[in-house]
Amino acid sequence: MQRAQYASRGPVPQAVIAAVDFTLSALRAGQALIQVLAAPINPSDVLTLTGAYGMLPALPAVGGNEGVGRIVALAADVAASKLGQLVLLPVGSGTWSSHLIADASQLIRLPEGADVEQLAMLTVNPPTAALLLSEFVDLKPGDWVIQNAANSAVAGYLRQLAHSRGLHTVNIVRRQSAVAAIAGGEVVLVDGDGLAKRVAAATGGARIRLGIDAVGGQATDRLATALGEGATLVNYGAMSGEPCVISPASFVFRDITLRGFWLAQWFRRAAVERQQQIFGELAGLVASGQLSARIQSRFPIEQIKQAVAAAAAGERDGKILIVPKA
């Protein structure tokens, strides 16, 4: 058995993590042994390795916060019918591992026959996208949403979900080379000067009630200027590494509201039934092929350093997955 472990944090994320051999302890009452099939590397995982994320596990730790696996062994008191089930790995359970042990009652069963690699990305980015669309503004079919970092995984899911709900999207990217990678984007623009005028021209002057910011810095202010009066702007990331900047004019004269969103906080507050509802809906969309994300590369655990380096690179065209050898 192998897992990707780190005992320190530092500015070069791939330098602090390494593949190590390990032996699991015996199963205790209520537990299941899961063979990990696939687990992605998210931006939050990279920030965790550098120490810049908002919630850091105690060291030493195993990397990975989401993934999918199959139950291969059960404690004697767990119903044998669970054996062989395809399940969503518990959030924050150290999923960059060939195997892990979890509480069997907390495992969410996944539909068989679906793309396992797509299901592996179900826990973080799809619910983030879904909740950004539903928790802040009561959007109706025909409404517009604007988002930056539009070539990111969250933005891709948000576009697909918006389309399924009859919403229109304006997608802002940071470089011209990223425009072609946006599939299904009705409007795609490169960030920069005069963004509000360009957005208005592309949308026919539509009043945009919701903005989604993953960049921070001056990019936040440019999104704010493109929004309609009384709109809400939600920040969920800081890809620029800078604090959100927004003009007082947007607050005072145009009544723009700036909010923040962190999925980990939502998990702490949401009832279990609500979480299961969200995952059930999203798993169904993934299984039917209506919700997916691009995958750039796949790495075994022993190549974790190369995998993390690839995930931390500035220009990618899809997710990096850890796919343990069977």
Residues 93, 124 contacting (CB under 8 angstroms): no
Q: How far is CA 295 from the centre of its chain?
A: 13
User: What pLDDT score was predicted for residue 184?
Assistant: 64
Beta bridge partners of 170: 146, 187
pLDDT along the chain (326 residues), means of 10: 97 98 95 98 94 92 97 95 93 95 92 94 95 97 96 93 96 89 83 97 97 97 97 94 94 96 92 88 92 94 98 84 92
Q: What is the DSSP string of 193-240?
A: TTHHHHHHHHHTS----EEEESS-BHHHHHHHHHSPTT-EEEE---TT
Q: Which CATH class is domain 2-121+294-322?
A: alpha beta
- Cα–Cα distance, 270 to 130 (Å, whole number): 14
Q: Report domain extents, the chain.
A: 2-121+294-322, 125-264
Cβ–Cβ < 8 Å for 219, 152:
no
Residue range 125-264, CATH number: 3.40.50.720
Give the active site residues: 53
Burial class (CB in 10 A: 0-12, 13-18, 19+), 213: buried
pLDDT tens-place string over residues 170-229: 999 988 888 887 866 689 999 999 999 999 999 999 999 999 999 999 999 999 999 999
pLDDT for position 324: 96
**pLDDT of amino acid 325:** 87
**Residue 133 DSSP one-character state:** H
